Amino acid sequence: MPKVIDANVPALRALPAVDQLLRTPEAQELRKSVGLARLTALARSITDELRTELQAGNSNAGSTRESLLNEALRRLASACVAERSSGLKRVINATGVIIHTNLGRAPLSESARAALSEDVASYCPLEFDISTGRRGKRGARVESLLVELTGAEEALVVNNCAAAALLILSVLAGRGETIVSRGELVEIGGDFRVPDVMASSGTRMIEVGTTNRTRLDDYEKALSDRTQLVMRVHPSNYRIVGFTASPSLAELANFAHHNEIPLYEDAGSGVLFDLSQYGLGDEPVISQSLAEGADLVSFSGDKLLGACQAGLIVGKSKFVGRLRRHPLYRALRADKLTLGVLEKTLESYSLERATQDVPVLRMLALSRSEIEARARKVIETYHEANPNGPLELEIQDGESAIGGGAGPNTHPATALLAVRHRQHSADRIEIALRLAETPIITRIAEGRVLIDLRTVECSADSQIASALSDLLSKISVD
């Protein structure tokens, strides 16, 4: 069979080798930012990509050694920029979603940030009692604050709320049955499904009632000699409305305790004081859940509490003690960074400064008029710097969101800064803002980029104004 000659053989021979690419001054400079091993992998991927394009005849990189080398270097530089931007870095959340899961949920208070950089980043008395010089208890201060703020007998911290549920179910009901209402078998963000966690714990889930109506006698009918736990789950981002019914927590507690069975509530976000003034009256107040008879309550640290990812467990000592002694607790316990952030956040609550210190609570409290005043200042700053600028900026009525599975029916009124360019699309503006030195994350609606300053710290307003001024240099013509 005659040999097939590839018409692109000259171009393929001109393709730079990986070693040649890495020896260039440009690549040597890029090496400083990503390291040799990663740069080599990127260079190999890019040369493979160019080879495939040349073989397919769809490359626009030219066919000379010089043109192919220049194209490979251009792609290598772009890949290194993407590599650096893929890591964790500060972004400005201008979406109006307060607890934005994709952006790290709750921003930390100044005291919590200081704890990370000053108190726990170095050596710290994680399990050391300075007053006695002996070994101390991990998380003792955090647990003490949780007891003080919730009225619980004892508290425990694990690394997230799913871990808290897994630990409680495994220890208290892993060899028996747990009764739960069918209407509470929800899926919360990140594929967290209540039935899956229950199955992983080893407990047998006994569903009672229907999706929209569960009565106390449904629980009574499900009782058996294998029943170890009654569980109530706050629906978080899910609500059933209309023809509904379910027992109150106090009624469930009376039922469980009459039958000598512990009652566990997964409170989801969980709050430490009533937030009904912000439209969040249906979020469980942890102290109230305990007062109504829950034996154990778990809730998140990085949602409405305003701290970092953690599963907080409070309740009766006899049950918390069992959790603490179980081997699974060691696998799930929190590290010093988590405990340091929690300690400073909870101290703000203890000192009655949470509404001033905790960013999530400050954002909830912002009025539409306060947000509008800030947005108008951004517009004014932009026009002062750009008297004939190409952007059209205006204020629009809008709604913010709570996010993080909390308050799905709560949408605080806000004033949106709507951005439109005379020549460029909203998509191009959104990309330019997102690729700014400090990325600004926005949303698009009706051909405009929308900026909601509710979720932007006041100190960052000037950065948004500057980014809008620099916009033209960041985007190309459509």
Domain ranges in the chain?
Answer: 9-85, 92-101+364-474, 108-357
Q: Taking a C-beta distance cutoff of 8 angstroms, is the pair 238, 282 a contact? A: no
The reported pLDDT for the residue numbered 2 is 44
Please say whether the dihedral angle defined by the alpha carbons of residues 33, 463, 445 and 477, taken in this order, is positive or negative: negative
CATH 3.90.1150.180 is held by the domain 92-101+364-474:
yes
The reported pLDDT for the residue numbered 172 is 96
Q: How far is it, in rounded angstroms, from Cα 347 to Cα 421?
A: 46
Q: How far is it, in rounded angstroms, from Cα 310 to Cα 332?
A: 10
The reported pLDDT for the residue numbered 139 is 93
pLDDT in tens, the chain (478 residues): 444 334 456 777 888 899 999 999 999 999 988 899 999 999 999 999 988 888 887 777 677 888 888 888 999 998 888 887 778 889 999 999 999 999 999 999 999 999 998 999 999 999 999 999 999 999 999 999 999 999 999 999 999 999 999 999 999 999 999 999 988 777 665 566 778 888 888 899 999 888 788 899 999 999 999 999 999 998 765 666 656 678 899 999 999 999 999 999 999 887 999 999 998 888 899 999 999 999 999 999 999 999 999 999 999 999 999 999 999 999 999 999 999 999 999 999 999 999 999 999 999 999 999 999 999 999 999 999 988 888 999 999 999 999 887 877 889 999 999 999 988 999 999 999 998 889 999 999 999 999 999 999 999 999 999 999 988 766 654 3
CATH 3.40.50.150 is held by the domain 108-357:
no
Q: Do domains 92-101+364-474 and 108-357 have the same CATH topology?
A: no
The reported pLDDT for the residue numbered 91 is 94
pTM of the model: 0.87
The reported pLDDT for the residue numbered 5 is 39
The reported pLDDT for the residue numbered 195 is 81
* Dihedral Cα 256, 262, 268, 273, nearest 10 deg: 80
The reported pLDDT for the residue numbered 476 is 52
The reported pLDDT for the residue numbered 189 is 57
Q: What Cα–Cα distance (Å) separates residue 332 from each residue in 103, 159, 253, 271, 326? A: 24, 6, 28, 22, 11
